[in-house]
Amino acid sequence: MVASSSLVQGLKLLDAAVSQERRARPGLNASRLAEHTGIERSRVSRLTQELRARQFLSRDDDALFSAGPEFFGTAAVLNTTWLRASRAALRALASQRGVNALITIADGARGVLLRCERSADGFDRSIREGLVTPIWCTGAGRALLWDHTLEQLEALLEDVQFVGVGGPTAARSTRDVWALLERDRADSLIAAAEEYDEGIDEFALPIRSRGEVIASLAVRGRHRPKGITRNTRALLMQFAGELSAAAGADQPSRENG
């Protein structure tokens, strides 16, 4: 909840600063950002420091905030063909297979839900865009680790608190995560059965751009002892391939731009 709250508040601050620029108005200082967003002044100070460190915000000599270079880079990514196409893929998975369908990106040892489509039966209403979850015990998150070596995984999860996080089958160490990755890569599919929430399974695949994992496509539904159905697996593989192809096609246009 703390991570999610910080993310929402950070987005509010960023939105307030960007809105000023869109209206061709002077930037806001920390006090004015607090007034515009209703966030406590001391909290604004801490969050703006983090956003500046990540280059999502910039501050000029008058202590006025504006969008930083990382904001524009992220905005460009969000306007790519593959992400626009993902909406149709998510809807197809949700409607045809009765699951929640997710696009997730990595933020260190966390996964951030970028886009989602819920099944018609209203199952698992906790899913929402912007949701932050552990990268190591969700199907969507572990798909983002597909290419990691053991050494990279150990570095990423060095400070992770495994105890008390996740469902009944969640990994309890980096070595456990590695064993699950090896198992899933052999099956060409990430399978997380009751790892994050009891009674819920996630199945996922990475989305790639020119070979590099940039996001994951996942389905999330009620636990099935027999695992993923053949039709759901086929659709997941189809759409992950199509989105990866679209992401690869996006790359030359960005480089030429």
Q: Check whether 94 has a pLDDT greater than 80.
A: yes
pTM of the predicted protein model: 0.72
What are the tens digits of pLDDT across the range 143-182? Answer: 999 999 999 999 999 999 898 888 899 999 999 999 999 9
Q: Count Cα atoms within 13 angstroms, Cβ side, for 198.
A: 2
Alpha helices in 98-212 (DSSP H): 139-143, 150-156, 174-187
Give the distance from CA 54 to its chain's centroid.
17
Contact residues for 24 (Cβ-Cβ < 8 A; gap 6+): none
Average pLDDT over residues 91-98: 94
Closest CA to 207 of 149, 254, 249: 249
**Residue 245 CB partners (closer than 8 Å, separation 6+):** none
What φ, ψ does residue 51 adopt, rounded to 5°? -65, -35
Closest listed residue to residue 135, CA positions, set 126, 148, 121, 122:
148
Lowest pLDDT segment from 63-67, 164-168, 251-255:
251-255
Q: Mean pLDDT across the stretch 24-29?
A: 80
Domain with CATH 1.10.10.10 in the chain: 2-72
d(CA 48, CA 57): 7
Whole-angstrom distance, CA of residue 82 vs CA of residue 86 = 6
Q: Find the helix packing angle between 30-37 and 41-53, rounded to 10°.
A: 110
Confidence class for position 251, pLDDT limits 50, 70, 90: low
Every domain range in the chain assigned CATH 3.30.450.40 = 80-256
Distances 168 to 124, 182, 193, 257 between C-alpha atoms, Å: 18, 20, 9, 48
Report the distance separating Cα 65 and Cα 30, nearest Å.
8
Record: fold of 2-72: Arc Repressor Mutant, subunit A (1.10.10)
pLDDT tens string 106-140? 988 988 888 899 988 767 777 877 788 899 999 99
- Is 80-256 assigned to CATH 3.30.450.40? yes
